[in-house]
Amino acid sequence: MELQTQLFINFEDEKGQQIFGTVVNYDWIDERKLLMNVLRIVLNLTDFESYSDIQYGNEMFNARGLEDFYSILRNECNLPSPTTAVEIRTNIINNFFTEGEMNVDTSYLETAILKKDEGIHKKLCEHNRLFSIESLKDAYAANFSNFNHQWRIGENFIIVNITSPESINRSYYDFSLSSEIKLGFILGSDYGEGLFADFITPVTFTDYITRKGNCGSIDKTFIEGYKKIINSYGIKMFSVSELEERIK
């Protein structure tokens, strides 16, 4: 069975300072493939070798307008390390399958950087602006208190929360960290009236699979195998109560 699902990724330090946050959309992807893609993204986000070529392989990191962009991420999105945020977002884009796409497309902004347009901040504030500050926040600083407004009615959410044991103030690749990784699962209803908490339901991994028709091609063997894989990497699951506390 294929389904539409959204993936919310939050990266923070142990003091709760956000490093990066975004939402990925998956349209009509086989649920087994989706779960394996989530695992691929998570493992690459915490594999320092996967960052080693990002700056060297992306000409955006050498563009003249990049410092303006970093200033916006630091001052408007309250991100302590813009370099890290851009590296993480690039890493995610490099690792989702063809059915996935960023909920907020930043390619227009990146094109402006590559063309070395002057005064990116000015462009953001113009009437016919290239990219709004709010959209930029959705793309780089979505968090547990606001990711819900990117929710598409009727779709489910998979939550990935990565907590670094120390603050990150420079390139992510410069650190050798042992991050805590947690996965969470939310079922969305087919209506959207009222508060976000009224039409979503945090559930366990097993309930996520077996409820709302998600179990078309996933059997008990796959579920147990997937649990063993994530356990072997030290990946934990949010309890229902933990997830309810984070999203309220």
Give 117-156 pLDDT, tens digit per residue.
Answer: 666 656 655 544 556 788 889 999 999 988 877 876 667 8
Give 155-211 pLDDT, tens digit per residue.
Answer: 788 999 998 876 665 545 444 456 789 999 988 765 444 445 456 788 999 888 877
For a pLDDT cut of 70, what percent of the chain falls above it? 70
> How many Cβ atoms from other residues are within 10 Å of residue 167's Cβ?
13
Instruction: Give the structural domain span for 111.
Output: 2-247
How many domains does the chain fold into? 1
Better pLDDT: 35 or 57: 35
Tokens 């506390």 correspond to: 245
Return the H-helix or E-strand segment holding 220.
helix 220-232
Tokens 């996965």 correspond to: 183
The residues near 57 (Cβ < 8 Å, ≥ 6 apart) are none
Contact 99, 47 (CB under 8 A): no
Helix/strand/coil for 160: strand
Give 29-53 pLDDT, tens digit per residue.
Answer: 788 888 999 999 998 887 766 666 6
Residue 57 corresponds to which amino acid?
G
Give the angle subtended at the CA of 157 by the CAs of 228 and 196, to the nearest 5°: 140
pTM of this prediction?
A: 0.85
What pLDDT sits at residue 3? 64
What pLDDT sits at residue 126? 56
| Integer Cα distance of 24 and 100 in angstroms | 7
